[in-house]
Structure 1
Amino acid sequence: NKSKKHPMWATEYCRDEGLRKYWDEYSYPFHKEGAGPLYRGQSATDYNHNQDMLALEMVRRWYDYWRERPGTGLRVSAGGTKIIFSDSNTHYRGEENYRRSGVTDPMRIEKDAFFAHQVMWNGWVDTDKFQTYIIGHWNYPEHTVKPVYVVSNGEQVELLLNGKSLGKGKRESHFLFTFDKVAYQAGRLEAVSYDGKGREVSRYTLSTVGEAARLELTAMQNPEGFHADGADMALLQVEVVDKDGRRCPLDNRTVRFTLKGEAEWRGGIAQGKDNHILDMNLPVECGINRALIRSTAKAGKIVVTAEAEGLPAARLTLQTVPVKVTDGLSDYLPQLTLKGRLDKGETPLTPSYTDTKRDIAIVSAEAGANRTETGNSHDDNELSEWANDGRLSTAWITYTLAEKASVDDICIKLNGWRSRSYPLEVYAGDELIWSGNTEKSLGYVHLEVDKPVCSDKITVRLKGSTTDKDAFGQIVEVAGGAANDMEKKAKEGKGKHNLRIIEIEFLESIKSR
């Protein structure tokens, strides 16, 4: 959704799910992308992604919002929030019995999608700092040939394998760069990002990790100390690492824990029977896992031991801090003293974006049918629309602009946006400037004009039959009231020559003036 006057943002802009354990189809356990049981009798591919495909989908969906950010005209989106930031025990649609649409797993271990967002969200609106990330790892069987995906906020990305350039990546959704059919070679895979002038702005490296050498056991706890109040928790992290301390990305061996001292085992989660809840034999997934322990009401030493086949044991000692109790009561409340994180700094007092497009105002419109309703297509109200009468001869509308302009971007919300593709022609005056089929989307589409023509009259015309097939059929939307009713009405409409425009904007790139 967009508006000239209301801050409008999405609270859940991507609902796809994926298990952290599955890197891609080329890695153990070689999970086929999308494989899993049906959901309510329908395919649940979008809820059974591998990590690489989940990250790609997150990039594509965030681009829908970033493209409509402030600075791109008068009607803009305020963005979106990742409402399920960590996997949770809410309703599920995939193979596992918990929600996996987070960018971290339930123990807050990052998925690739986390680092993809770190790149895309590196700024308040526009990019503040350049960053690049290669999705996945670089440990594959010999003779593997696979695509490599890079997320970057630079303008170009070059891939180097052991110092040899593999060329520039194919760009999609602004942030995503794809390198097809890369032949695996052990060693160093490096992505180098460049700005529009060809200057290097960031880089990221993956290296082939050696054989597993040891377990690395660490703890994350309250920075003020692990308190013996019977409620405080410490998070244990176990990693399988090589001789240089690098995590082994394909290791999935089981780690056996023992716990002695003043703490209770609350466990972690992994794929398996009962999700390994409270299990003290916990497998690592992609070389890492975490488990929780809870303090008792008595201060003392805690010793945790981790063992796995073929590796030396790791041991960790913790000490809980006494909590003063008087007549069964304590005045210790951790929320009163824990410090917040304000690394980001205060909200800027000046715009954190550069205007890249300007909105060319619409003065009036004429159409082949329902002429009194043409204003509905540019009234900044997404609950109204203009539509023709279902005949191809009337499926046109001509807009008169406030000034002559070289319009090079037509942003349009068409009814049935998820499922309907419209074959359109666009004219500036009498000259054809765009022709094709509109993409399906979760909202707005852009008709980008390669060779704009200066004019104050723009005509949009349907040139054939619309086609219907839901591009997001597996993704179940939250009830959207009138907006969803409009789309339902569009699907039920008779005929294939319906042109239905909810909102249209004519934009001119500022750099072209």
Structure 2
Amino acid sequence: VDQSEWVGTMLGRRVRDGYRYTENGKITRDKRAIIETEYHREESPRRVWDDYSPPDFDYVNVFTGANGVKENHKDAWDLTAEDFIRHHVYGYYEFYSRRMQANSPKPYYSAAAMMIWSDSNQHGRLQATENCRMSGRVDPVRIKKQSFYAMKAIQSPVPEIYLVGHWNYPTDPNAYVYGVKDPETHQYTGEKALRDPYNKTIYVIGSEHIRTVELLINGKSVGYNDQPEKVFLYKFPGINIMQPGYIEAVGYDAQGKAVASHKIETVGEVTEIRLTPVTGPEGLRADGADIAFIDVEVVDAQGRVYPLDYERIDFEITGPATFLGGYNSGIKDLGHDVDYVYAECGTNRVFLRAAREAGPITVTATRPGLPPASVTIYSKPFPVDASGLTRLMPQVYSEIYQAPKRVPCPLPELTDVSDLIVKQTIRVFVDDQEVDFGKDLSAYRMVGVYGPAFPLLDKLGVEYHFAEREQKLTVKHGGNVIETRVADSDLYINGVPGTINDWPEIINGVLHIEISTVVPALGFKTYWGENKREYYIVR
């Protein structure tokens, strides 16, 4: 901790134990700023609005329901964009209320950060019906997901609300047909069912300044909510969504004053494709590497994006550039060498790379039944010397330079902190005999019980081996085989991956493990003493 500028945690690991905080957590808090870098761990694609939206009235996937553990050729998540936002609220509330301890004079946490900001094929974690990991607030081409706007409202320093979803639901009540899944296996049964469009819940996200939200449809109030769930989530159940026109949410403060609103209109039929080019602040450089992208929107006669468009859009390019294509989630026929994308919720984005020759570059988008749309970008000459080198640096958006200068994170006064009290020692017993971990060594409290591995394993009488080169520990007992590595949060139990809160580390030459996870995984019965200072293992 003393060597750090700040301390990051993932889901509160190493700092908290349930709703309480470890001794290490308290000391860390008073020495450095603690920043939560992952208070939410769910996934959802941008393209699926909710369970009441065409084309499927469901998030169609292959779902295991296996506690979030991804299996080969199967998905572990089954969240629409609407579900995703609700989970965001739950995760952020847990951080905001219990770890940040809002309004507390001595909060444990100083800030929060989004560890996974964009959807990405991180570590090859594409999954069966999806092409990426989908934890982000933006998709892989950085188009904002609904969760971006929801989190913006939640964290807003001024009153703000966000009305989740769209208002282009079918007006035929018989249109809402979806495939039924078995509640136990989460697999499709082949049967069909009908959702009730007269009885949908509408969700509104409000910042902490909001005390009451009113929902209106076509100017008529359909109700108020002054009892938000988890501070930020306002629910309006029993709404008939087959009422074209507009839906609006109005937020009121504690004095009853309207301080924020969000309105969503029903969008008309698609009439055209709109292309908007984006280059660096100095334009597109003809250096053979510079990238431009083109925002693609499918709009109605008033220029509004049609939220339910998922059709294919083809592209042609002329001029000194290479068309790089775009991205679609859940589409298997889309590669890097194709000249088309599918709209997702009426939008997408495609990219091109400039050649070393300057000149006009024209991109044309086409779809049967719509007029072609074209946009032209003029790449600029890029100076190089006789050796082919240049003094010009790659472009950076000017907003970065205009941002406020960084300031040191304020830290609390270190008035009641002692370096001598850095951990809560835990006594470990095997069949009522205390484990001797050796001179100046002990087990102690992290999220669970953490301590030296070998003295405990010897006391248990289990077979184990530590491979120095791979830094891999293998333990065998009663038909169970446990494998774990230093600095790795995976714990393999009979070949099946699981997760440990505090991964193995070598501290002062001694291997430490999370005892309270490894020992039960071997099949031993364990329990805590009454004062939570003793940990008992029964052979």
Q: Is 2:125 the counterpart of 1:92?
A: yes
Tell me which residue corresponds to 2:82: 52
The two structures have a TM-score, normalised by structure 1, of 0.68
1:102 to 129, 136, 145: 136
- Paired residue type of 1:63: Y
- Paired residue type of 1:17: E
1:232 to 268, 274, 290: 290
**1:119 counterpart SS class:** helix
Distance in structure 2 (CA, Å) of the matches to 1:166 and 1:282: 39
CA RMSD of aligned residues (A): 3.6
- C-alpha displacement at 1:165, in angstroms? 1.5
> Quick check: 1:237–1:288 contact (8 Å CA) kept in 2?
yes
**2:313 counterpart SS class:** strand
Q: Is 2:208 the counterpart of 1:150?
A: no
Name structure 2 gaps, 5 residues minimum.
1-14, 16-24, 174-196, 431-445, 450-495, 505-511, 534-539
Distance in structure 2 (CA, Å) of the matches to 1:248 and 1:228: 35
Distance in structure 2 (CA, Å) of the matches to 1:475 and 1:103: 27
Tell me which residue corresponds to 2:314: 256
> Quick check: 1:13–1:61 contact (8 Å CA) kept in 2?
yes
- C-alpha displacement at 1:181, in angstroms? 2.1
- CA, structure 1 residues 101+34, in 2 after alignment: closer, same or farther (shift >3 Å)? farther
2:215 to 152, 159, 166: 159
Tell me which residue corresponds to 1:135: 164
**2:353 counterpart SS class:** strand
- CA, structure 1 residues 135+296, in 2 after alignment: closer, same or farther (shift >3 Å)? same
- CA, structure 1 residues 477+133, in 2 after alignment: closer, same or farther (shift >3 Å)? farther
> Quick check: 1:37–1:43 contact (8 Å CA) kept in 2?
no
2:354 to 295, 301, 315: 295
Tell me which residue corresponds to 2:378: 319
> Quick check: 2:218–2:246 contact (8 Å CA) kept in 1?
yes
> Quick check: 1:269–1:275 contact (8 Å CA) kept in 2?
yes
**1:273 counterpart SS class:** coil
CA deviation string 1:345-400 (max 9, x = no partner): 45689989xxxxxxxx9xxxxxxxxxxxxxxxxx885x6679999xxxxxxxxxxx
CA deviation string 1:97-126 (max 9, x = no partner): 32111111111111111111111222xxxx
- Paired residue type of 2:94: D
Q: Is 2:15 the counterpart of 1:15?
A: no
- C-alpha displacement at 1:93, in angstroms? 6.3
The two structures have a TM-score, normalised by structure 2, of 0.65
- Paired residue type of 2:164: I
- C-alpha displacement at 1:282, in angstroms? 1.3
> Quick check: 2:447–2:501 contact (8 Å CA) kept in 1?
no
Distance in structure 2 (CA, Å) of the matches to 1:177 and 1:219: 37
Tell me which residue corresponds to 1:28: 54
2:111 to 79, 83, 90: 79
Identify the range of structure 1 (336-345 vs 194-203) with the bigger mean alpha-carbon deviation: 336-345
1:206 to 249, 255, 264: 264
> Quick check: 1:227–1:322 contact (8 Å CA) kept in 2?
yes
> Quick check: 1:17–1:49 contact (8 Å CA) kept in 2?
yes
- C-alpha displacement at 1:303, in angstroms? 0.8
- C-alpha displacement at 1:486, in angstroms? 6.0
**1:11 counterpart SS class:** strand
Distance in structure 2 (CA, Å) of the matches to 1:138 and 1:386: 60
- C-alpha displacement at 1:276, in angstroms? 3.6
Distance in structure 1 (CA, Å) of the matches to 2:150 and 2:429: 42
**1:313 counterpart SS class:** strand
2:145 to 107, 111, 114: 111
Q: Is 2:277 the counterpart of 1:219?
A: yes
Tell me which residue corresponds to 1:507: none
- C-alpha displacement at 1:238, in angstroms? 1.0
**1:14 counterpart SS class:** coil
Q: Is 2:238 the counterpart of 1:181?
A: yes
**2:37 counterpart SS class:** coil
Distance in structure 1 (CA, Å) of the matches to 2:516 and 2:204: 35
- C-alpha displacement at 1:84, in angstroms? 1.5
- Paired residue type of 1:176: L
- C-alpha displacement at 1:414, in angstroms? 8.8
Name structure 1 gaps, 5 residues minimum.
123-127, 353-360, 362-378, 390-412, 417-473, 503-513
Aligned residues: 393
> Quick check: 1:160–1:189 contact (8 Å CA) kept in 2?
yes
**1:97 counterpart SS class:** coil
- CA, structure 1 residues 338+115, in 2 after alignment: closer, same or farther (shift >3 Å)? closer
Distance in structure 1 (CA, Å) of the matches to 2:159 and 2:53: 30
> Quick check: 2:281–2:398 contact (8 Å CA) kept in 1?
no
> Quick check: 2:168–2:266 contact (8 Å CA) kept in 1?
yes
CA deviation string 1:1-46 (max 9, x = no partner): 3534132223222221111111111112326358424455599775
Distance in structure 2 (CA, Å) of the matches to 1:256 and 1:57: 36
> Quick check: 1:147–1:180 contact (8 Å CA) kept in 2?
yes
**1:171 counterpart SS class:** coil
- Paired residue type of 1:160: L
- C-alpha displacement at 1:213, in angstroms? 0.9
Tell me which residue corresponds to 2:193: none
> Quick check: 1:230–1:296 contact (8 Å CA) kept in 2?
yes
**1:28 counterpart SS class:** coil
- CA, structure 1 residues 269+500, in 2 after alignment: closer, same or farther (shift >3 Å)? farther
CA deviation string 1:416-446 (max 9, x = no partner): 9xxxxxxxxxxxxxxxxxxxxxxxxxxxxxx
- C-alpha displacement at 1:48, in angstroms? 3.5
- Paired residue type of 2:277: A
Identify the range of structure 1 (191-200 vs 247-256) with the bigger mean alpha-carbon deviation: 191-200
- C-alpha displacement at 1:258, in angstroms? 0.4
> Quick check: 2:325–2:340 contact (8 Å CA) kept in 1?
no
Distance in structure 2 (CA, Å) of the matches to 1:304 and 1:488: 57
- Paired residue type of 1:53: D
> Quick check: 1:415–1:500 contact (8 Å CA) kept in 2?
no
Distance in structure 1 (CA, Å) of the matches to 2:147 and 2:233: 12
- C-alpha displacement at 1:50, in angstroms? 1.2
